[in-house]
Amino acid sequence: MAGQAPLKRLPVISVAAYGAGDIANSMTFATVGMFLLVYYTDVAGIPAAAAGTLLLLGGLFNAAADVFAGRIADRNSSRRFGKFRPFLLFGAAPLALCVAVFHIHALHPAGTLAWAYVSYFAYCLAYSMVNVPYGALAGTLSRNPRDRARLASARTMGGLATSAFLGIFIAPQFQNDADIRSILTALTIGFAVVGTLLYLFTALATREQLPASAPRLTLRQARDTLVRNVPLQVLCISSLFFMTANVVTNTAKLFYLRDVLGRLDLFALVAGAQVVITLALAVITPRLVQRLGKRCVYISGGLMGAAGGIIVFSAPEDAVWLAVAGMFLALAGAAAVSILMWALVADTVEYGEWKTGHRTDGTNYSLLASTRKVGMAFGGGLAAFALAWGGYESGATAQSPTAALGIRVAAGLAPAVILLVAVGIMRWYPLTDDAHARLVLTIQERSGVR
């Protein structure tokens, strides 16, 4: 509209509220990523191969659920709450279902596996219906690149806070003789209460500044929009491999520290280092992006992660601190890429709007989210299959050399190789920061914004 005022800088409370939403997201996402495999194998008694198949199929279902959630979100419109915030009001659903995922009691083996499938698939659907609109919300809060960087950092910090809590206070309790069932039941019930309040805070303390009355695209229009959005395609494919590597690493980390190095107590140190590394990168990354561009920093982070994985895989059992240094290097690479991911997908929304005239925040985000969920599926399944290949024995005080090798592959070698593939794909990403600035100016000129 002619004469429309430029978008205002986001208030601090809106940025904080957005970060709070990812604290709630991570209360289920990080808990599932860190502990679900060890819960299935060491508590529920599900064989590692069967658990890997479940995680693989569940992740693929989750990817499809993300696409469905994005379509629903893009077609939604509420005068009071906007397009995406209404979905956060249903945030209690995935939190409650996460309790069910970690609440399998003495059943027949077939009944145990059936409960695991039903509860995990239901959780995946509920999580998609909240997480996809939450992610798309960032693109509607502001077009200002600095504000988007603030939102991306807030999201990273929010998720990091939950992961740090789990790593410092919960994971070190998972010794072979621990009552893992009771620990996870109490944890998930507490998260369900606190996470619901955080989702409400996000929904009530943010405002969608970009128009909420975007056209309701047909499925064919949405498909055509995505086909013409080359930056989004490249980002999604690279992100799929990056997420696969990240999930393999995170899933195998507990097994690596406990069963290979014999130093589960170091989990707290690794989690604390992750906080420090990510906070430092949150400060440094915007400056690096300004000098080098998002793509270059993304590629550099992937190469750091690959180098860290190779160190983790090859470090001797008695070279504990060398292995930990490799884990730190891998954490730094993963943090750099994660900080940039959400800013990059927001850029692709503007590219699609510039290219086609249609703005599809929810669909773009859901496509990225769904490919990342495929990566989660592959990563979780690959970690479990590596354990099964090595002959991992749940509850054993010492694992065999082949089991230790399987854990090493999952914790280091496999992520390193996969990250190199992700880096190679990202070299084809065509949307530079300068090009994005020019196309945003074109969009504003079209709409009469000065």
31 to 38, 45, 106, 355, 445: CA distances (angstroms): 11, 19, 22, 39, 45
Contacts made by residues 60-64, CB under 8 angstroms, sequence distance 24+: 60/373, 60/374, 60/377, 61/121, 61/124, 61/125, 62/124, 62/125, 62/127, 62/128, 62/370, 62/373, 62/376, 62/377, 63/370, 63/371, 63/373, 63/374, 63/377, 64/370
**C-alpha to C-alpha distance for 239 and 422, rounded to whole angstroms:** 7
224-246 pLDDT per residue, tens: 667 888 999 999 999 999 999 99
Find, among 311, 357, 355, 304, the residue nearest to 332 by Cα. 304
Q: Which position has the token pair 């190789």?
A: 417
Task: Give the whole-angstrom CA distance, residue 113 versus residue 280.
Answer: 43
Q: Token pair of 13, please?
A: 């409370």
Contact by Cβ (8 Å): 219, 78:
no
| Low-confidence spans in the chain with pLDDT less than 70 | 1-8, 78-79, 106, 145, 210-225, 362, 447-450
Indicate left, alpha or beta for 423 from its phi (over 0: left) and psi (-120 to 50: alpha). Answer: alpha
Residue 413 carries which DSSP code? I
* pLDDT, position 362: 67
| pLDDT of the residue at 383 | 95
Nearest CA to 97 out of 32, 38, 171 is that of: 32
pLDDT reported for residue 20 = 94
C-beta atoms surrounding 175 within 10 Å:
10
Beta-carbon contacts of residue 106 (< 8 Å; ≥ 6 apart): none
Residue 398, exposed/middle/buried by CB under 10 A (0-12, 13-18, 19+)? exposed
Residue written as tokens 């750091």?
A: 304
With a CB cutoff of 8 Å and minimum separation 6, the contacts of 198 are 20, 21, 23, 24, 91
DSSP string, 82-100: TTTHHHHTTTHHHHHHHHH
Q: What is the pLDDT of residues 374-419, one digit of tens each?
A: 898 999 999 999 999 999 998 788 899 999 999 999 999 999 999 9
CB atoms within 10 A of CB 168: 17
Question: According to the model, what pLDDT value does residue 2 have?
Answer: 40
**Homologous superfamily (CATH) for 12-447:** MFS general substrate transporter like domains (1.20.1250.20)
CA distances, 157 to each of 26, 165, 191, 276, 450 (Å): 11, 12, 17, 11, 33
Does residue 251 contact residue 410 with C-beta atoms inside 8 Å? yes
Nearest to 54 by CA among 368, 376, 369: 376
